[in-house]
Structure 1
């Protein structure tokens, strides 16, 4: 079996193309079902966000699946195949696994190290599981992806440094004031930058948030989303005298707060410090405000310097995560390799237990006076003999399994004369995967494989 991922993201496709290739959540189940029913595709997961649409598949034929997956995407979104191929990336096997792990860890995100993508990857897996589109391999792979992402965020400091201007503004305020839950904030402007700032403030526990905008309705919409209060622009000077923090990002062409206004406000504040951040271009706050008593003003250039420095620190942390990803990829590959041995191991056990069962029947025929307890003891000990004899061959089969070990596995098959049993196990495995793959999450032998969802919900 092989793993393949095909898709587009912010690195390969412009935003208008990403918008066109965005999966509708209401249609996701149907898309997964259509993919699962495609030739040579056995399992599939779709990860779809504003910056990426990626299709992951388990296949027995890479070239065939690459063609059919591309065809599916072109047909599903009504895009010319040639146009799609110009922005589509395709990764296979180790590269596909590595890509998923990097995506889950936030290393492939527009904002390096962001954590939201982990939840989106997990949601994509759960949606596929619910649509009966996953099986043994993706149950394990996506569990590993969540595991390595959690390790990345808990064992490194990649999230400790702000790398967006709005986040940097809030982080700067938090470093100055400590906790923000008791501080009052005035957001000037109600656009995208103010919305991001409001999200960051809310995540820091800010409760007293006011939104001011030339269009009052827009201020009210943003304020309502974050349990804030919309205030009229005519009360600007009054609010400046009352709040602890001002973050401004309007679309005004001229300065909104000048030095003269701020000097009047400073007298009303009576020595209380005011933290002001201007992230608008052109600037909303007069740079001369720097000279006002107890006013601490930062502009977008100040924040960009912080962001640039923090980004370098995140890149250094990302190198540590690369090591974690390498380790997890190797572990997953080793697990994948053992799957080659599953039918052989199951066949050895089947033949051995058949022999044990026939032996017990022979003993009972020749010794009909055995008590129930004596039969139970004999049955237990003959099974123990079988298990002890099989222990080393099973371990050896696990160790040598893999794409390069077909000849060695075949030698085991020949030594135990289990050709028919192996064929039977493979057929049983295929039928079970087709009918019940996502219900049990097991490769249908005595070798345990984690069930869907194991370790995914925490």
Structure 2
């Protein structure tokens, strides 16, 4: 039994290749089933997002398991197996567990510490579980990974500090105003940075947003996509008289907001303060505009300092989380090792208790006149003898589970006591559905 993780991510492949290997939402269930029916695959979970496609499997052999997963990805994407190999990271055993824990807790994301991947990993696991492609190993391991990531986010501030310029711009507005959900915002520009700023504003509860752009059709498209207002660049002076916050990110070579413009509208201003956040290069807001009363201007350099400081804070939190991963790996390995021990201990106890039961039957035949109380005393004492005799062998069996070549040593242990333990891991066709809802409830309760 071997744990394998195969990852195609933002480090190994560009966006065009990642798009090819990604699984569409309506095919992920059938893809899990398809992979599960493949030779050598005992359990599997598929994660597919815009930044990564990951396949986790329990396989009976490393080489065949890895090959069949890569062949599966090639068939799904239309690429050759060699192409998949070239853009894949392959992790086995402890490295695979380490990778799963890092990905789930956001340590492997483009934006360090982002929390969205936790929900995506949880959903990927739920889908695989619902399709019955997980079993004993993954039902335990993915619960452990999700629990670990949730705990890491709760106990550190890794996700609390803005590390993108557009996000930092909105966070700066929060620092200045305290609350911004009741503020009027203007976004100048209709490109990618403007859209990110718009999403961050809406995510912070700001609904009164107007997009201003020289090409009105672009402003209209962006505004309609997100349910906000739009206007032409000529409307900007009038809009500024009633605004609280402006985020500007155009590609203009000229200043969009000038000292002259602000001087002319200052007497008409209805609100106390106007915060201008200029994330454009070259700048959209004329320098020294701060000289105007109650107008505060921040540019990319101001935000960069905030982002850099926040990134350092995130890295410190990430280091603290990463330091906990080795003990999580040890805990997983200890649990896996005990899988082989538990059936052995159970078989030993069953044999011992059968002997005790047969002995009591013999006593009943030879001493038929024993009272019920006398029989209970004898039964209790014979069970006590058995438990004392089993104490050291059971302890030894548990220790054997954590030793090298544990399978061979446990087999010898069974031969010594003439017992036969059942397989701890059910076969593919022996999976039971009964425990799924309980496990799903447990994982959802971590939120």
- Is TM more than 0.5 here? yes
- In the alignment, structure 2 segments of 5+ residues that lack a partner are none
**Preserved CA contact (<8 Å) 2:241 2:270:** no
Partners of 1:72 and 1:46 in 2: CA distance: 12
Tell me, yes or no, if structure 1 residue 435 matches structure 2 residue 430.
yes
Pair 1:172-2:160 in alignment: no
Distance 2:125 2:170 in 1: 33
Distance between the aligned counterparts of 2:374 and 2:203, measured in 1? 68
Whole-Å separation in 1 of the counterparts to 2:202 and 2:379: 66
CA contact (8 A) 2:106 2:113 kept: yes
Q: Deviation of residue 231 (structure 1)?
A: 4.3
Offset at residue 224 of structure 1 (A): 5.6
Q: 3-state DSSP class of the match of 1:340?
A: helix
Counterpart position of 1:125: 125
Which residue does the alignment assign to 2:301? 301
Q: Secondary structure at the match of 2:349?
A: helix
Structure 1 pair 438–4 and aligned structure 2 pair: CA distance change class (3 A): farther
CA contact (8 A) 1:6 1:55 kept: yes
Tell me which residue corresponds to 2:409.
408
Q: Identify if the C-alpha distance between structure 1 residues 202 and 372 changes in structure 2 by more than 3 Å, giving closer, same or farther.
A: farther
| Residues 1:31 and 2:25 are matched in the alignment | no
Which residue in the other structure is 1:446 paired with? none
Other-structure match for 1:455: 443
- Cα contact 2:274–2:294 (8 A) shared by 1: yes
What value does the CA root-mean-square deviation take over the aligned residues? 2.9
- Deviation by residue 1:70-128 (Cα, 9 ceiling, x = unmatched): 11111121101222211111001111111111111111100111111111111111111
C-alpha spacing 1:48/1:81, structure 2 compared with 1 (3 Å)? same
Q: Which moved more, 1:388-397 or 1:311-320?
A: 388-397
Question: What is the match of residue 336 of structure 2?
Answer: 336
Q: CA deviation at 1:321?
A: 1.0
Map 1:247-326; keep pairs closer than 5 Å. Answer: 247-269=247-269, 272-326=272-326
Q: Distance in 2 between matches of 1:382 and 1:312?
A: 65
1:444 is aligned to none
Residues 202, 226 of structure 1: 8 Å contact kept? no
Counterparts of 1:239 and 1:387, CA distance in 2:
83
TM-score (norm: length of structure 1)? 0.87
Query: Aligned in 2, Cα 1:223/1:371: closer, same or farther, shift over 3 Å?
Result: farther
- CA, structure 1 residues 324+437, in 2 after alignment: closer, same or farther (shift >3 Å)? farther
Instruction: Give the Å deviation of 1:144.
Output: 1.4
Contact 1:190/1:213 (8 A) holds in 2:
yes
- Larger CA deviation: 158-167 vs 394-403: 394-403
How many residue pairs are counted as aligned between the two chains?
445
What is the CA deviation profile of residues 380-419 of structure 1, one whole-angstrom value per residue up to 9, with x for unaligned ones? Answer: 776666555434433432232046133432342123111x
Relative to structure 1, is the Cα distance of residues 24 and 400 closer, same or farther in structure 2, using a 3 angstrom cutoff?
same
* Contact persistence 1:271–1:294 (CA under 8 A): no
C-alpha deviations, 1:309-346, integer Å up to 9, x for none? 32222222211111122221221121122112133123
Aligned to 2:2: 2
1:307: how far off? 1.6
Q: 1:397 to 1:240 in 2, by over 3 A?
A: same
